[in-house]
Amino acid sequence: MATSGSTDFTMSAREICTSALRMIGVVDRNREPSGAQAESAMQQLTLLLKTWATVERLWLIAEGSTACVQGQAAYSLPLARRVMSVRRRTASLDTPLCQLSREEYYDLPTKSAEGYPNSWFFDPQRTTRTLYIWQTPDAYNAANTTLQYTYARVVDDVDSLNDEADVPQEWLDALIYGLAKRLGPQFGLSGNPDYQEIKLEAERLYGALTADSQETAPTYFQPARRF
């Protein structure tokens, strides 16, 4: 018997929330959750995803590029939760830039100095996410250079029960268990033996998948470069 040859399985937020509510016994197996139950579960699903995104996940790591502008130090990166590295690309040559702390960047005496960008600082605030570089690009770099950056992106919101959760399919089981674990106390199930089993399984799945979603290449340490 042949396999399906299909690898596009996914679940909507409605299906995830319903599965979690059924798992903890709030909704009968053959019934759908009420509108209020589904909306409450969807809110908790979004909060869970936002919390999970604070730990590095391979599927949330992305590459970006922005054009250099002469004399411009600040570049908006609205999708970046954290910037991991920045490179200056001229023609086909990439040159890594040195990361600065907030204090190091703001202590620079002339932030508008023009030349080759060689350092960067990323400032994530509640409504803005800004990459600062130093030096600012001069005319040559503005015309011939782009900034390439590796970043951990912001996880998508769940705005509708018809939305898919922003996770790979292998994380869906852990997501259902994690949501059930999160919902249990809201429905007074903290002392329920079955709920305790759900908590343990949620933690086991999360731990196994977190270990699986990490880089496997070796890591080397060297002194930081300074401009």
Looking at residues 55-63, what average pLDDT do you find? 92
* Residues 196, 198, 199, 205, CA torsion sign: positive
* pLDDT score, position 218: 64
Assign 145 to helix, strand or coil: strand
User: Looking at per-residue confidence, does 143 or 29 come out higher?
Assistant: 143
What DSSP state is assigned to residue 146? E
Looking at residues 183-188, what average pLDDT do you find? 92
pLDDT in tens, 23-58: 999 999 889 999 999 999 999 999 999 999 999 888
Number of Cβ atoms within 10 Å of the Cβ of 132: 20
* pLDDT score, position 211: 86
Assign 171 to helix, strand or coil: helix
Taking the model in full, what pTM does it have?
A: 0.86
Biggest CA-to-CA distance, the chain: 71
Contact residues for 155 (Cβ-Cβ < 8 A; gap 6+)? 49, 50, 52, 53, 60, 81, 166
